[in-house]
Structure 1
Amino acid sequence: MNYVSAENLTKSYGLKVLFKDISFNINEGDKIAIVAKNGSGKSTLLKILMGKEIADSGSVIINKDIQVVLFDQEIDFEGELNVEEFMMTLDSPPIMALKNYHHALLTENADDMDKALNEMEIHEAWDLENEMSQILTQLKITDLQAKMKNLSGGQIKRVALAKLLVETRAQHRHTLLIMDEPTNHLDVDMVEWLENYLSKAMVTLLLVTHDRYFLDAVCDIIWEMEDQNLYFHNGSYATYLENKIIREENLNSTIDKAQNLYRKELEWMRRQPKARTTKSKSRIDDFYETEKVAKTNTKKEKLELDFEMKRLGNKILELKNINKSFGDKVLLKNFSYQFQRGEKVGIVGKNGAGKSTLLNIIQGFEPYDSGSIETGETIKFGYFSQKGLQYKEEERVIDFIKEIGENFPLANGRTISASQFLRLFLFDDQTQYSPISKLSGGEKRRLHLMYVLYQNPNFLIFDEPTNDLDLPTLTVLENFLLQFQGSLIIVSHDRYFMDRIVDHVLAFEGDGVIKDFVGNFSEYREAKSQDQNKKTQVEVREVPKKTETVSTASVAAAPNTKKKLTFKEQRELEMIDKEIPELEKKRTEILEKLNNETDYEKISVFSADLEKISDRMDELEMRWLELQE
C-alpha cells in the first residue's frame, strides 16, 4: 500500500536552495532514515509532509486512508494538565473508551460501568491501557499526577514520546510515524527499549537520528540528502557509506572524461566561422552540456580540526574521597580518581545519577560536601554543555567568535583568522554575518562546538555532545578526538560515539557508587550483563524447591476476591475470571485445527494466534495472582 508520493519537490529560503526536484515514495512497512548535514533540509522535508511547510514547487500526495503522526523537537502542551490528562488528549475510539471507563470508576454508576466495559471490549482498550502503562514505565514516567509545566525538558520529551507511541498504537487507521531525533534526552536503557520496540512494531517509519546503532537496528532504507538531491540506499549505515563513495568516484570519472572532451571541443569552437550549419549548432549545444559537466565542482568543504593544544604539565586532575548529596540523595560517595594525560574517559549512568554534577564539581561550578580536588596549573577546561550557547539575540556569528580572539593557532605554527576558522566549521560568509538567533538548532550546536575548541583547551569535557549534531560533523569530531593529545571526559548516551572514543568507563550505579571499568562502552555493558546473569542464577538457586503453582483451571474457578479490593480492582478481577475461560476455549479450538491442518500457511497463522493467546493467558494469570495477594 502506497502511503506517500512526492514528485519534483523544490524548497528554498532566500538564495539558499535546500532541495530541488526530488521525488520519492513511502510504502507500508518502510522504515526509512534520513541522513544529511545540518541545514540540508531534513526537518523542512518532514514539515512539508506534515503540512506545516509548503514546497516552492512540486506535489505531495498522501493516501487519504492514512494518519501522519510527528514527533518533533518542539513539544506543544498545556502546562496545567497533568501527565495522565496529557496522555488522554488523544482523539481515538480506544482512548475515548478508556476515558469513559475511568469516569465510571469515579462515579461508581452501574449503568455507566456496563456501558464503559462494553466499549472497552469493542475497541480492545484493555490491551491499549496495558501497553500505555508499559510504555510509561519503560520511559521512567512514574508520577502521572505531575503538572506538565513542572517537568524538565527531558521529561517533557519522554512524555511526548510516550503519547506518540500510544497514539500510533491507538489509531485504527494506517499510520506513518515521523520522528525527528527521538533518542535525545533518553538514557541508554530507554534507547535500547525504544530500538527494540520500533524494530518489532508493525509501523511505517520516517526517522531522523544521529545514533548509528539505533539507525541500523530500526531502519533498512536510508535517504541521503546532499547537494540539493535525494539518494536512496537499501541496507545498513555502512552500506550507505560504501554506496556514497562509489557514487562520488563515478562522478569524478565522468567529470574527468567530460574535461578531456571539453578541451578538444573548445579548440573546435575557436576555429569555427560565425555562420554555422544546423549540424554545427547541434555540436555547439552538446559542447555547452559538456562544459557544464566538466566544470562541476566536486570539492567538498570538510570540517577539519587540527590545532596547537596548550601544553599539559605533569599534574592533570586528581579527586580524593569526594562526597556530594542533595538531601537524602547521595550522588558521590568517597569517589577518588586520578586523570592521566591523553586519557579518554566515558561517564555513563541513569538520568539524575549525578553525572552532570560531577562535571560541575570538577570545573568548580558546584561545591562538594567533603574531599579534595587538585587541578594542574596548566589545565584549561573546554566545556561543551547541554545548555547550549549563551548569546545576545542579535549578535552576529563572526562577532561572537571574535570576542575570544581575532586569530587561532594551528598545529603547524601558523594562525588563521576567525572567519577562516568559521569556514572550517562550514559557516559560509553569508551565515557568518547573520544573527545567531537565525541559525538552526544543529547549526547552533556546531557553533557551540567551535566556540569551545576556539579557546584552545587541553582538557575537554563533553556533556551529550552528539545531540543535534549531523552525522558528517560527528564523524569528523570523532576522528579529531581520537587524535586529541589532551585529556577528555564524555557523558553520552550515543553508544557508537562512546565505542569509538573512550577507553575507560566510570559508571554511576546509584547511591553514590561509581564503578571504574577499563574498556569501551559496549565492553562495559557486556560485563555488566554477565554480572547480572550470574546474580540471577544465584538467586534462582536460592529459591526453595517446593513452590506453589496455580493452574489455569484453578485461576478460572477461584473466588473473585479474598481480601478487600478497590472497585476498579474488583471489576478487573471479574473481567479476568471471565476472559481466561474464553481464552482456554479458543486455545483448544486452535489446537484441534492445528492437528488436522496440512497447509503450511494456515499452520503459520494458527501458530501465531496460539502464541498470542498463550502470552495473554500468562499475563492474566500473573495479574490474577497480584490481585489475590
Structure 2
Amino acid sequence: MKTLNISNASKTFGERTMFKNVTFTINENDRIGLLGLNGVGKTTLLDGLVNNNDLNTIDVEKPKNYKISYLKQQPELDEELSVVDAVFAGENEQFKLIRKYEASLINFNKNSDDKKIQSEFFKLQERMNAADAWQMESDVKAILNKLGITELDKKISELSGGQQRRVALAQTLIFDADLLILDEPTNHLDYQAIDWLEGYLNKFKGSVMFVTHDRYFLNKVANRIFELENRNVTEYDGNYEKYLSQKAANEATNAAVQQHKTQMYKKELDWMRAGVKARGTKQQARIDRFNDLKDDLSDKPAAEKEMSIDIAQQRLGNDVFDIKDASLQFDNQTIIDDFSYLVSKGDRIGITGSNGSGKTTFLNVLADKIKLTSGTVKTGQTVNLGYYTQYTQDMDPEKRVIRYLEGIGQGVRNEDGERMSASQLLDTFKFDHQMQGAFIRELSGGEKRRLYLLAILIKQPNVLLLDEPTNNLDIETLTILEDYLERFKGTVLAVSHDRYFLDKVASKLLIFKGQGQIEESYDSYSGYLEKMNQQEVEKHQQNKEKKAEEKSEESGTKTAEKTKLTYAEQMELNKLEPEIEKLDDEISNLKAQLNDDSNDYQKLMDFQRELDEANKKADTMMERWEYLSQFE
C-alpha cells in the first residue's frame, strides 16, 4: 500500500504563521477534502506537498517513484500550444510521442501527397501502436469532451479563462499519479462536468486531496476531511455531512472542558491570592498544578469570533426590473431573444445554464453596463444595486485593507441602527488588526474575494446581483452569506453552478438554454437537474427504440409487435457470434501487419484501408447482434 507521511510542516510569512508542525498521513484510496477559512494556508499547504522547498519545514516519507499530479488554482499553460499539446505537455515518453503524432497528423491532413510527410506519419502510427499510446490519446479526448472542450487544435491563448482551467484539469487527470491534488476543481464547470468528475474521482485508483467550495461535491467524493484552523490540521472521518456532525460534537465537548478548566483556574487563582502561611509539600504540589493549569489555558488559541454579516439595507419598493421585448446580439450571436420578465421585491432568482450562454451578460444588462440591441429594461426608482462580479474591481494592491474599505464607505449602520467603523466591519469579516493594516497585495485570493464582498455590502444595497459568488469563497463565508441572504429583505439574482448554494438561496430559476432562449422554472436547482437528466435518459431510450424500429422495418418486421426472434433471426444471431470472433482475429492480424517494419509504404496503406473497413463492419455487426440479443 502506497502512503504519504507528512510531519512538521510549517509556513511563516513575515510575522504571520500560517501553520506549524502539521502532521498527517495520506493512505491509498483516500479522498481527502481540505477545509478552512480563506487565508489560513490551504493552497500554501498544497503547494508545499508538491514542492517541499515552499515550506519552512517539512518531513516527507513516501515510496520511491511516488507520483503527484497537481491542479493549481491558477494553472500555468503555454499559450502558444494547442489544447492537445498542452494536455500532453511533460516529459512522459508517451506524452512526447503523442505530441509528435498529433503534429504529424495535422501536416498529413494538409499535405497528404507529400512522400516525406506520409513516411513520417506512418512511422509515428507504428510507434503509437507499439507503445499502446492510442488508449491514452482516446482517454484524453474523452475527458476533454466531458469537460466541454471539443476544439482540440485551438491555441490556449484563444480559450477563455474557464476553458483554460478545464484543459489544466484534463492535464492533471491524465497523468499517471499516485496522488491527485486538486485546488478548486469544480470552478468553471457546469453540472454535467461536475457530475462526471465525481464519478471519475470515485473510480480513481490512487489517492485524492482537494480543496472545494462545492458542498455536494465534497459530500459525494470525500471519505476524510482535514480542517486547517488555529495553525494546525484537525482530521475527521467520513464525508462533509459526517464532518459537520463530528465537529459540532467536538466543539460542544471542548467548550465544556474549557469551561471546567476556567472555573478550576479561577478557584485556584483565589487560593493563590489568599496566600498560605505554611507552604508544605502538599501546598507546593497545588502551586505546581495551578501553574500547569495556567500554562494549559494560555497555550490554547483564543476562541475565534464568529463571522457575521450585520449591515442594514435601504428600503426597496415593489418595482425592481421591468424587462420588455429585450434582445441582444454580439457578433451575429443571439444572447437574448425577445425576452420579457418582471423582477419584483423579494425575488430570489437563480440564473444557470451552459458556459457561454449569456448569464453574465444578462447581469451586465441589468447593471446598465451593456445596452440592449432592442427592447427596454426599466429599473425601479428605489433600487440601490450591489453587483458582486466574478473578478474583483478597483482594488489597488498598494492600498492597505482598512484604507480601501474606508474609501468605499464609513459610518455604516448595522441591522440595529448602530454605526460601525471600517475596523469593526473588517473584524466581523475575520480581518484582525494585523490584517487590517496589511497591503491588499499581501492577501490571498480568497481573502481578496471576502474583502470585495464586504465592500459591496457596506454600500447597503437592496438589490444584489451575484456572479458566481461561490468561486474562491470558503465554505464558512458561503454559509454566512447564505444565512444573510435568507434574512435579506431585498431582491437577489445569482448566477451560479453551485447546486448547494442555489438550492439554499433560489426560489425560482432562469435557465439560459443558448441562442437567446431563457426558460423559467420553479423547481429547486437539484430538482431541475434531476428532471433534465431523466429527460436525457428518456430521449436516449426513444432514439434507440426509433433506430431499432427503423432497422426492423427495413428487414420487414415491426419492433412494436416483436416479443421474440423469428426462426430466420435466430439463425442470423447464431451465425453472427462466430463471424464477429473471426472479424476480431482479422482486425488483430491487420494491426500486426501495420506494426511490421518489413512492409513497404503501399502495403501499409492497403492494410490501413482494410483495417478501417473491418472496424466499420465490426461496428455494424455488433449493433445488429445487440438488437437481436434483446429478444433472445
The TM-score with structure 2 as length reference comes to 0.84
Alpha-carbon distance, 1:101 to partner: 4.3
- In the alignment, is residue 398 of structure 1 matched against residue 406 of structure 2? no
The residue number in structure 2 matching 1:15 is 15
Residue correspondence of structure 1 range 206-605 to structure 2 within 5 A: 206-272=209-275, 280-294=283-297, 296=300, 299-543=303-547, 544=550, 545-546=552-553, 552-553=580-581, 555-556=583-584
Given that 2:583 and 2:614 are in contact with CA atoms closer than 8 Å, whether structure 1 keeps it comes out as: no
* Secondary structure at the counterpart of residue 510 of structure 2: strand
CA-atom RMSD in angstroms? 3.1
Distance 1:571 1:153 in 2: 43
- Contact in 1 for aligned 2:221/2:239 (Cα 8 Å): no
One-letter identity of the residue aligned with 1:484: F
Deviations 1:563-588 (A, max 9, x none): xxx9999776656789999xxxxxxx
Residue of structure 2 equivalent to 1:88: 88
Q: Given the alignment of the two structures, is residue 124 of structure 1 paired with residue 161 of structure 2, yes or no? A: no
User: Per the alignment, do residues 219 and 572 of structure 1 end up closer, same or farther by CA in structure 2, a change over 3 Å counting?
Assistant: farther
- 1:166 aligned residue: 174
Following superposition, the deviation at residue 453 of structure 1 comes to 0.4
- In structure 2, distance between residues paired with 1:150 and 1:504: 35
Q: CA, structure 1 residues 497+572, in 2 after alignment: closer, same or farther (shift >3 Å)?
A: farther
SS of corresponding position for 1:465 = coil
Distance (whole Å) between structure 2 residues aligned to residue 619 and residue 11 of structure 1: 61
1:477 to partner: Cα distance: 0.6
Q: State the AA in 2 paired with 1:321.
A: D
Residues 118-140 of structure 1: CA deviation (Å, up to 9, x unaligned): 54345431211110110111122
Q: Which of residues 122, 133, 144 in structure 1 aligns to 2:152? A: 144
SS at match of 2:178: strand
- State the distance in 2 between where 1:391 and 1:127 align: 47
Alignment partners' CA distance in 1, 2:191 and 2:22: 36
Rounded Cα–Cα distance in structure 2 between residues aligned with 1:112 and 1:482: 64
Q: Is the 8 A contact 1:47 1:53 kept in 2?
A: no
| Separation (CA, whole Å) in 1 of partners of 2:266 and 2:119 | 89
Structure 2 residue 31 is matched with structure 1 residue 41: no
SS at match of 2:246: helix
Kindly indicate whether the alpha-carbon contact (under 8 Å) linking 1:576 and 1:620 is maintained by their aligned counterparts in 2. no
Is the Cα contact below 8 Å between 1:44 and 1:53 reproduced in 2?
Answer: no
Partner of residue 564, structure 2: none
Q: Which amino acid aligns with 2:182?
A: M
Unmatched 5+ stretches in structure 2? 109-114, 556-572, 591-601, 624-632
Residue-pair matches, total: 578
State the shift of 1:19 in Å: 1.8
Aligned to 1:177: 180
Does the 8 Å contact 1:35/1:224 carry over to 2? yes
C-alpha distance 206-313 of structure 1, shift in aligned 2 (>3 A): same
State the alpha-carbon separation in 2 of the partners of residues 437 and 568 from structure 1: 60
Find the aligned partners of 1:286 and 1:265 in 2 and give their Cα distance: 9
How far apart, in 2, do the equivalents of 1:490 and 1:104 lie? 46
What percent of counterpart residues are identical? 35
Decide whether aligned partners of structure 1 residues 568 and 177 sit closer, same or farther in structure 2, where only a CA change above 3 A counts: farther
Using the alignment, how far apart are the partners of 1:415 and 1:568 within structure 2?
Answer: 83
1:262 to partner: Cα distance: 1.8
Aligned CA distance change for structure 1 residues 118 and 488 (closer, same or farther; 3 Å): same
In structure 2, the partner of 1:590 is: none
Instruction: State the Cα deviation string for residues 31-63 of structure 1 (Å, max 9, x = none).
Output: 111011111111111111111544334422233
Name the structure 1 match of 2:68. Answer: 68
2:509 alignment partner, SS class: strand
Cα–Cα, structure 1 residues 578 and 619, in superposed 2: closer, same or farther, change >3 Å?
closer
User: Structure 1 residue 383: deviation in Å?
Assistant: 0.3
Deviations 1:424-454 (A, max 9, x none): 1111112112211111000000011001101
What is the rounded CA distance, in whole Å, between the counterparts of 2:604 and 2:47 in structure 1?
Answer: 42
TM (normalized to structure 1)?
Answer: 0.85
Amino acid aligned to 1:187: D
Deviation at 1:360, TM superposition (A): 0.8
State the Cα distance separating 1:279 from its structure 2 match: 5.4
Confirm or deny: 8 A CA contact 2:351 2:495 kept in the other structure.
yes
Residues 11 and 56 of structure 1 are in contact (CA less than 8 Å); yes or no, is this contact kept in structure 2? yes
Residue identity opposite 1:462 in structure 2: L
* Alpha-carbon offset, residue 267 of structure 1: 3.5
Counterpart CA distance in 2 for 1:621 and 1:255 is 69
Structure 1 gap ranges (5+): 561-565, 582-616, 623-629
Conserved? CA contact 1:316–1:375, under 8 Å: yes
1:162, distance to aligned residue in structure 2 (A)? 1.3
